[in-house]
């Protein structure tokens, strides 16, 4: 019987359940500038599955609002285009 490929990674969580995500997004005070920013960052993390470093590297010019696309920087010299789902681009 084969063993687990990487025992040290076996305990990592697979993701957040819907209730946890709802509570996390609901904890942002969207009446304040910081709360709106936090909500936007968390929404990109949750809906698009981007890594924290990729979200931190986003710039306004990386986002094409009309085409619902963005440039995601993987490293200083590498980037990928990312198409945003309709629900993400419209909210």
Burial of 70 from C-beta contacts in 10 A (0-12 / 13-18 / 19+): buried
pLDDT of residue 59: 87
The answer, yes or no, to whether residue 65 has pLDDT greater than 70, is yes
The reported pTM is 0.66
pLDDT of residue 84: 63
The answer, yes or no, to whether residue 51 has pLDDT greater than 90, is no
The answer, yes or no, to whether residue 41 has pLDDT greater than 70, is yes
* Residue (of 40, 41, 46, 48) closest to 80 by Cα position: 48
Pairwise CA distance, residues 30 & 40, whole Å: 10
pLDDT of residue 54: 86
Q: Could you tell me if 30 and 40 are in contact, meaning their C-beta atoms sit under 8 angstroms apart?
A: no
Count Cβ atoms below 10 Å from residue 48 Cβ, excluding itself.
16
């Amino acid at each position: 019987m084969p063993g687990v490929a990487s025992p040290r990674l076996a305990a990592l969580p697979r993701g957040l359940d819907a209730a946890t995500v709802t509570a996390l997004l609901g904890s942002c005070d969207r009446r304040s500038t910081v709360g709106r920013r936090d909500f936007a960052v968390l929404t990109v993390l949750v809906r698009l599955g981007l890594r924290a470093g990729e979200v931190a590297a986003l710039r306004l010019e990386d986002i094409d609002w009309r085409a619902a696309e963005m440039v995601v920087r993987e490293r200083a010299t590498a980037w990928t285009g990312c198409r945003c789902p309709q629900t993400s681009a419209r909210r």
